[in-house]
Amino acid sequence: MVRNVAALLAELESEDLYLLSGVEQGMRFSEWVSREKLPDFSGLTPEEVDYRLERCLKRKLIQKKTIQYEGYTLQFEGYDLLALNAFAERDTIAEFGSPLGVGKESDVYEVKSYKPLALKYHREGYTNFREVNRERDYTAENRHVSWMYTARKAAEREYEVIETLYPDVRVPRPIDQNRHAIVMEKMDGVELSRTKLEDEQVVPVLELLLRELTRAYDIGYVHADMSEYNVFVSEAGVTIFDWPQAVPTDHENADEFLRRDLRNLLGYFRRKYPRVVPSCDAETVARAITDGSFDSLATLAADEQ
């Protein structure tokens, strides 16, 4: 888990942020930025750079390494602060709250503006960079990428997708995006994996989800990472989140990803509620979604008889 550095924002001076931004700029060309190039990247004098490097090193926002030269690189905490500062300057965020969820590929915090919101920091590539770089479509064509690039592209992809889908599909309302971070509406409800549905609720909730996936497909996207951990259930219905791996429906593997999503979703409901879920396979549901004929599981199950 990356350290929560929101409290540090009040301690930092504008020149500290110039230094962090300068390191960020230099990392476009190399993982380790030469000390000699930092005045040009940051717009600070060499003497000011020395002072700001010491302050940022003390707060563990950057890392120093002496190789063939004295080099510096951003820590994720430094990158977090740059995004957080951008949101604060744009009045997207007024207050920083408690964690809402911490995972392998993202940290989510409650934040406030005119209402409670959620701030999601993408962490793709921080601990498993090689695996993410190999699997994610948005890095596949780039040989020289860093964890910073990977996380930023994931945030940009997710924000683009939910901005396209909202409000036609039940996804979190997008508010703002900067670097590797997204601000979105805070979701109500409980994660599907932790929800115990009554028998009479099971099929209606499953069909709600299938209709949302159908609408997403009609608009042009497949989630491609669907599971019981990416859905919130509330009295108002369902919300599907975590869209950074989404692919457009004209992607060469889109239909296979759709079938995988459906196998995951139907498999979860059948394991948890085996007596209630109709015996309709993922292939049949996928065909109905892709040809625009999906109506209900009961109808599909009856057609299979």
Question: What digits encode the pLDDT tens for the residues 180-222?
Answer: 999 999 999 999 999 999 999 999 999 999 999 999 999 999 9
Greatest pairwise CA separation for the chain in angstroms: 79
Please give the single-letter amino acid code of residue 157: R
Handedness of CA 208, 211, 217, 220 (dihedral sign): negative
Terminal Cα distance for the chain, rounded: 50
Contact 62, 72 (CB under 8 A): yes
Strand 70-74: give its sheet, edge to edge. Answer: 33-34, 70-74, 62-66
**Cα angle value 246/252/258 (rounded, 5°):** 50
Tell me the CATH number at 57: 1.10.10.10
| Phi and psi angles of residue 206, each rounded to the nearest 5 degrees, phi first | -60, -40
Based on the fold, state whether residues 219 and 177 are members of the same structural domain. no
86 in a structural domain: no
284 plus 236 within the same structural domain: yes
| 258 is a domain residue | yes
pLDDT of residue 143: 46
253 Cβ neighbours under 8 A, 6+ residues apart = 247
Per-residue pLDDT at 250: 97
User: CB-based contacts of 243: which residues, under 8 Å, 6+ apart?
Assistant: 157, 158, 161, 162, 165, 171, 221, 223, 225
Domain carrying residue 158: 93-185
Do residues 152 and 111 share a domain?
yes
* 40 part of a folded domain: yes
The whole-angstrom distance between residue 47's C-alpha and the CA centroid of its chain comes to 39
Q: Looking up tokens 């717009």, which residue turns up?
A: 43
Q: What is the pLDDT of residue 278?
A: 87
Q: What is the pLDDT at residue 256?
A: 98
Q: Are residues 66 and 154 in the same domain?
A: no
Q: In the listed set 26, 55, 78, which residue is the last one of a domain according to the structure?
A: 78
Question: Does residue 84 form part of some domain?
Answer: no
In a domain, 1, yes or no: no
Which of residues 78, 103, 133 is at a domain's end? 78
Question: Are residues 199 and 143 part of one domain?
Answer: no
pLDDT at 300: 82
Q: Which of 63, 68, 61 is nearest to 13 (CA)?
A: 61
- What pLDDT was estimated at residue 132? 44
Q: How many CA atoms lie within 13 A of 128 on its CB side?
A: 11
For residue 230, the one-letter residue type is N
State whether 228 and 259 are in the same domain: yes
**Which residue ranges in the chain fall short of pLDDT 70?**
1, 126-145, 302-305
- Quick check: is 176 catalytic? no
pLDDT at 2: 78
Is the same domain home to 62 and 131? no
Number of structural domains (the chain) is 3
| Nearest partner of 183 among 167, 191, 172, 168, judged by Cα | 172
Starting at the earlier edge strand, list the strands of the sheet with 95-102: 95-102, 106-112, 116-122, 181-185, 174-178
Residue closest to 43 by CA, chosen among 71, 15, 70, 74: 15
Note the pLDDT of residue 127: 57
As given in the structure block, the two tokens for residue 119 are 């701030």
Contact 19, 37 (CB under 8 A): no
Outline where DSSP puts E strands in 70-151. Answer: 70-74, 95-102, 106-112, 116-122
Catalytically annotated residue among 137, 218, 225, 255: 225
User: Residues of 113-122 as b/e, b for ≥16 C-beta within 10 angstroms?
Assistant: eeeebbbbbb
CATH number at residue 97: 3.30.200.20
Give bridge partners of residue 124 from the DSSP assignment: none
